[in-house]
């Protein structure tokens, strides 16, 4: 058996034993004291099992540490290296949590051995309470060594929710086995003395487990939203599939639990020979089945713990369609259909709720309401359905950066412009010979397709349209560069109306990140200014821009005092640009000597005349969240005097931050 399988088995045993111990102590507390012979025998048996469980818990814990030692160094022989294990325990968060937990688990093991000395009622409660406390803390702390620990921000809340999830699972799932054993003992002919005790215990457990299951569901949804986040990751990643598998195992458990609660539990107090005992035996086997399914769920959970969470993995969309609002293509009457359909569906939902509570002809009402709901959805949804592809929800692995956009622009000119046109309007010289007119890529509707859609078409082509696939000609990174470029073109199309006046509190246009250096100075990125400074990005030409640069230089100290920095990039690429600028008037703000070509290739697209070559002087004001907020060209008066520019900067300074920072990857 492989190292990994062994390590996973150890973890599974560890969690399983922990859950069993927590559930058993909780159940013993819940069931109360009894001196009936059958109950005493059952308790003795459980105690024996807890000893085994505690032993297994410690052993599998040790194995988990040794497995982790092999994982962190990547050498399987380190699983047996005491030195590596000590380093893992001493110098990682996993190790800290491990030490803490195993300290508590050792105490728990000692406690279980002391059980024999129980004398009074106080002893009875203290023993079980302490077992629950130590076992529960040991189980809950696991949350701080798993995926939840890495959630940011809100790691404490995420780990807390995960801990609560584990505890609720412990109380509920771990309590099933003791319950099954008790019911089986009491369901036999000789166990008659324990029957009232068993019935009462089953009822209290039923109440507690209902609360626990609700807690499991609530914290589970919270965990899933932290680790997966969206439908694409649920349906399209391995982590999401494991969660679906987990839910798939959870549904039969819930069905069994419902049968137990609604049918078998009331039957327990019936006539012993004909109703009570058969019901009790069936309940015992159903509960045992539930706990077996629970053990399978724990197996899935262990697999999830070593799988990258959905939020980090790239989803592979399994369906040929998705729902989009608004739809990328305008379908006639879609708005009306959506309105009518959603209202009909709402009536269906109300009918369902009403039917459930009315009780009057419930089946008929519920059936009709369900039909109305389906009909409503049938009217509303089809216009929203758009074709989807496996890569539809892929996020670009290449950040939305000037360098990538510049590369994409170059690739576009080489491979795409012949058909789609130099300015991306679908009017290239080769367009005429194609079966379908090439898409106008500067049209706003392009922005309504996901980046993953574009990537798919770029990779595989569009059958029957003349668009061929570039999967074999361009590398994956190059295709994403083209997607980043197309995103810029589409954003620039929507930015036509951008002016020199900041629209208050309405940032929407993401400023692509860029990296620059001045001479041998360290390179800096736009992102370095994030949250701290505004940036005035100036694309300039010589000699026309020299007076304007001099004016900005004279006002540089005021600009800096107001929280704005200036970055100037020459549109001609910048060979010896500082020498060419000359000594007077003195310019001390960053003049890009390294990276200007990329900045200009990307940012010139946001100019009013986006495709003019070479580009002319233009200035962009970028806010602290990374959004492009205003644009000035010398033909406008607004910033011709420095006061005009300062007024816009002041406007941005007064703004309350209302949106999250600009995304670094296109969607």
Partner 1 sequence: MRLWKAIALLNLALGVGLLIGYLWWGREASRLRQETTLTIQAGAAALEEREWAVRGVVRSVIPEINVLVVTHEDIPGFMPSMTMGFRAANPKLYAGVQVGDLIRFTLKGVPPNVTIVAITREGKS
Partner 2 sequence: MSRPGLVALALLLWGAAWTGAHSLLDHADPRAASTVKTAPAQVRIWFTESLEPAFSSLRVVDEAGRRVDKGDGRVDPSNLKLLRVSLPPLPPGTYKVTWRVLSVDSHVTEGDFTFRVAP
Residue 477 or 609: the one with the smaller Cβ distance to partner 2 is 477
Using CB under 8 A, which of 94, 98, 127, 470 touches partner 1?
127
Residue 582's binding partner among partner 1, partner 2, none (Cβ under 5 to 8 angstroms by kind) is: partner 1
Residue 483: name its binding partner from partner 1, partner 2, none (Cβ under 5 to 8 Å by kind): none
425 forms part of the interface with partner 1 (CB under 8 A): no
| Region of 158-166, 203-211, 403-411, 585-593 interacting with partner 1 (CB under 8 A) | 585-593
Tell me which long-range contacts 268-273 makes (C-beta under 8 A, separation of at least 24): 268/198, 268/199, 268/202, 269/199, 272/192, 272/195
- Which residues are at the interface with partner 2 (CB under 8 A)? 4, 8, 68, 71-74, 87-88, 91-94, 145-150, 152, 238, 241-242, 245, 248, 303, 306-309, 312-313, 399, 401, 403, 477, 515, 517, 519-520, 522-523, 525, 527, 593-594, 664
Contacts of 270 (CB under 8 A, 6+ apart): 276, 279
- Block residue for tokens 């004001």: 621
In whole angstroms, give the CA distance from residue 116 to residue 663.
Answer: 62
d(CA 250, CA 432): 58
Say which entry of partner 2, partner 1, none residue 50 contacts (CB below 5 to 8 A, set by partner kind): none
Residue 538 CB, shortest distance to partner 2, in Å, is 21
Residue 533 interacts with partner 1 (CB under 8 A): yes or no: no
Which residues within the stretch 510-529 sit at the binding site for partner 1 (CB under 8 A)? 518-522
Question: Of partner 2, partner 1, none, which one does residue 439 interact with (CB within 5 to 8 Å by kind)?
Answer: none
Q: Two tokens at 115?
A: 């059980």
Task: By CB under 8 A, tell whether 588 contacts partner 1.
Answer: yes
CA 244 to chain centre: 15
Return the closest-CA partner of residue 202 out of 167, 178, 171: 178
Tokens coding 175? 């309590």
Asked whether 626 and 527 are in contact (CB, 8 A), the reply is: yes
d(CA 634, CA 618): 7
| Residue 655 DSSP one-character state | P
Which of 43, 118, 443, 572 touches partner 1 (CB under 8 A)? 118
Residue owning tokens 């032993």:
55
CA distance 543 to 377: 63
43 counts as binding partner 1 under rule CB under 8 A: no
Q: What is the largest CA-CA distance in the chain?
A: 107
* Four-residue CA torsion sign, 660, 665, 666, 667: negative
- Smallest distance from partner 1 to CB 134, Å: 9
| 636 is a site residue for partner 1 (CB under 8 A) | no
579 binds, among partner 1, partner 2, none (CB under 5 to 8 A by kind): partner 1
Stretch that binds partner 1, among 126-134, 168-176, 361-369, 391-399 (CB under 8 A): 126-134
Cα separation, 233 vs 584, in Å, equals 57
DSSP annotation string for 260-278? IIIIIHHHTTS-IIIIIHH
From partner 1, partner 2, none, which one binds at residue 26 (CB under 5 to 8 Å depending on kind)?
none
d(CA 500, CA 482): 29
> CA 180, CA 284: separation in Å to the nearest integer?
5
CA atoms within 13 A on the CB side of 509: 25
**Cβ-contact 539, 567 below 8 angstroms:** no
Among 26, 164, 386, 577, binds partner 1 (CB under 8 A): 577
145 binds, among partner 2, partner 1, none (CB under 5 to 8 A by kind): partner 2
Q: DSSP class of residue 82?
A: H
Q: Which stretch binds partner 1 (CB under 8 A): 25-33, 35-43, 127-135, 267-275?
A: 127-135
Residue 144: CB minimum distance to partner 1, A: 15
Whether 440 contacts 425, CB under 8 Å: yes
Given the complex with partner 1, which of 119 and 271 has the nearer CB atom? 119
For residue 212, which of 14, 17, 12, 19 has the smallest C-alpha distance?
A: 19
What is the C-alpha separation between 394 and 450, in angstroms, rounded?
8
Report the nearest approach of partner 1 to the CB of residue 656 (Å).
31
Closer to partner 2 by CB, 23 or 595: give it.
Answer: 595
Window 342 to 361, contacts with partner 1 (CB under 8 A): none
Among 352, 482, 587, 610, binds partner 1 (CB under 8 A): 587
Backbone φ, ψ for residue 290 (5° rounding): -55, -45
Cβ-proximal residues to 290 (8 Å cutoff; 6+ apart), any chain: 176, 253, 256, 257, 260
Q: Which is nearer to partner 2, 180 or 297 (CB)?
A: 297
Cβ proximity to partner 1: between 91 and 358 the closer is 91
| Closer CB to partner 1, 39 or 581, in the complex | 581
Nearer CB in complex with partner 1: 143/338? 143
User: How many chain residues bind partner 1 (CB under 8 A)?
Assistant: 33
Dihedrals φ, ψ of 628, to 5°? Answer: -85, 120
Backbone phi and psi for residue 339, each to the nearest 5 degrees, phi listed first:
-65, -55
Q: Single out the residue of 561, 576, 656, 658 in contact with partner 1 (rule: CB under 8 A).
A: 576
Please tell me whether residue 532 binds partner 1 under the rule CB under 8 A. Answer: no
Nearest Cα to Cα of residue 161 among 175, 170, 172, 149: 149
Question: Does the footprint of partner 1 cover residue 333 (CB under 8 A)?
Answer: no
Instruction: Determine, following the binding rule CB under 8 A, whether residue 543 of this chain makes contact with partner 1.
Output: no
177 and 224 Cβ atoms separated by less than 8 Å: no
DSSP state of 1: -
The reply to whether 33 sits near partner 1 by the rule CB under 8 A is: no
Decide: is 132 part of the binding site for partner 1 (CB under 8 A): no
In the complex, minimum distance from the CB of residue 26 to partner 1, in angstroms, rounded to a whole number: 17
Q: Which of residues 13 and 515 has its CB atom nearest to partner 2 in the complex?
A: 515
- Smallest separation, CB 79 to partner 2 (Å): 14
Binding part of the chain for partner 1, among 66-74, 75-83, 107-115, 607-615 by CB under 8 A, reads 107-115
149 makes contact, choosing from partner 2, partner 1, none, with CB < 5 to 8 Å by partner type, with partner 2
Binding residues for partner 1, rule: CB under 8 A, are 107, 111, 114, 117-120, 122-123, 125-127, 129-130, 133, 518-522, 576-583, 586-588, 590, 593
């Amino acid at each position: 058996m492989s190292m990994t399988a062994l390590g996973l088995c150890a973890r599974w045993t560890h969690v399983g034993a922990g859950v069993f111990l927590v559930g058993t102590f909780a159940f013993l507390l819940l069931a109360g004291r009894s001196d009936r012979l059958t109950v005493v025998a059952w308790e003795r048996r459980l105690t024996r099992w807890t000893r085994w469980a505690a032993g297994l818990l410690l052993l599998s814990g040790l194995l988990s540490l040794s497995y982790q030692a092999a994982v962190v160094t990547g050498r399987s022989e380190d699983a047996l290296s005491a030195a590596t294990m000590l380093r893992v325990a001493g110098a990682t968060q996993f190790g800290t949590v491990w030490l803490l937990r195993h300290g508590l688990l050792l105490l728990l093991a000692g406690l279980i051995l002391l059980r024999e000395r129980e004398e009074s009622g106080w002893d009875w409660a203290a023993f079980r309470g302490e077992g629950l406390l130590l076992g529960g803390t040991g189980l809950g702390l696991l949350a701080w060594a798993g995926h939840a620990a890495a959630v940011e921000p809100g790691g404490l809340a995420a780990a807390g929710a995960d801990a609560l999830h584990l505890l609720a699972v412990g109380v509920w799932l771990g309590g099933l086995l003791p319950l099954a054993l008790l019911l089986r003992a009491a369901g036999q002919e000789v166990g008659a003395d324990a029957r009232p005790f068993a019935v009462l215990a089953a009822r209290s457990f039923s109440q507690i487990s209902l609360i626990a299951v609700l807690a499991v569901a609530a914290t589970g949804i919270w965990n899933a939203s932290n680790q997966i986040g969206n439908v694409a990751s649920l349906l399209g990643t391995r982590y999401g599939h494991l969660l679906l598998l987990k839910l798939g195992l959870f549904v039969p458990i819930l069905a069994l639990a419902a049968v137990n609660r609604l049918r078998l539990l009331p039957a327990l107090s019936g006539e012993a020979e004909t109703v009570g005992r058969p019901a009790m035996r069936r309940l015992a086997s159903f509960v045992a089945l539930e706990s077996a399914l629970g053990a399978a769920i724990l197996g899935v959970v262990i697999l999830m713990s070593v799988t990258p969470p959905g939020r980090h993995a790239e989803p592979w969309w399994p369906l040929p369609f998705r729902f989009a609002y608004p739809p990328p293509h305008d379908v006639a009457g879609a708005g009306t259909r959506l309105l009518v359909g959603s209202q009909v569906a709402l009536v269906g939902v109300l009918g369902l709720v009403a039917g459930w509570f009315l009780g009057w002809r419930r089946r008929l009402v519920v059936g009709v309401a369900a039909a109305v709901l389906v009909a409503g959805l049938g009217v509303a949804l089809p216009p929203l359905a758009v074709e989807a592809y496996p890569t539809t929800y892929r996020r670009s692995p290449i950040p939305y950066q000037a360098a990538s956009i510049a590369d994409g622009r170059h690739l576009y000119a080489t491979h795409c412009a012949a058909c789609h046109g130099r300015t991306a309007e679908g009017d290239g010289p080769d367009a005429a010979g194609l079966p379908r007119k090439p898409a106008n890529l500067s049209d706003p509707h392009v922005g309504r397709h996901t980046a993953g859609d574009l990537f798919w078409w770029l990779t595989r082509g569009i059958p029957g349209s003349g668009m061929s696939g570039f999967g074999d000609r361009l590398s994956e990174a190059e295709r994403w560069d083209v997607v980043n470029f197309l995103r810029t073109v589409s954003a620039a199309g929507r930015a036509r109306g951008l002016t020199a006046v900041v629209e208050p509190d309405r940032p929407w246009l993401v400023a692509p990140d860029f990296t620059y250096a001045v001479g041998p100075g360290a390179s800096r990125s736009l992102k370095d200014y994030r949250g701290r400074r505004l940036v005035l990005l100036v694309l300039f030409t010589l000699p026309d821009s020299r007076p304007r640069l001099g004016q900005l230089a004279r006002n540089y100290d005021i600009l800096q005092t107001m929280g704005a920095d200036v970055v100037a990039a020459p549109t001609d690429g910048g060979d010896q640009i500082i020498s060419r600028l000359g000594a007077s008037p003195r310019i001390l703000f960053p003049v890009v000597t390294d990276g200007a070509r990329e900045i200009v290739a990307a940012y010139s697209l946001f100019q009013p005349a986006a495709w003019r070559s070479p580009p002319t002087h233009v200035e962009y004001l970028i806010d602290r969240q990374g959004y492009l907020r205003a644009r000035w060209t010398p033909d406008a008066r607004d910033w011709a005097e420095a006061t005009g520019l300062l007024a816009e900067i002041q406007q941005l300074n007064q703004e309350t931050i209302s949106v999250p920072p600009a995304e670094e990857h296109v969607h």
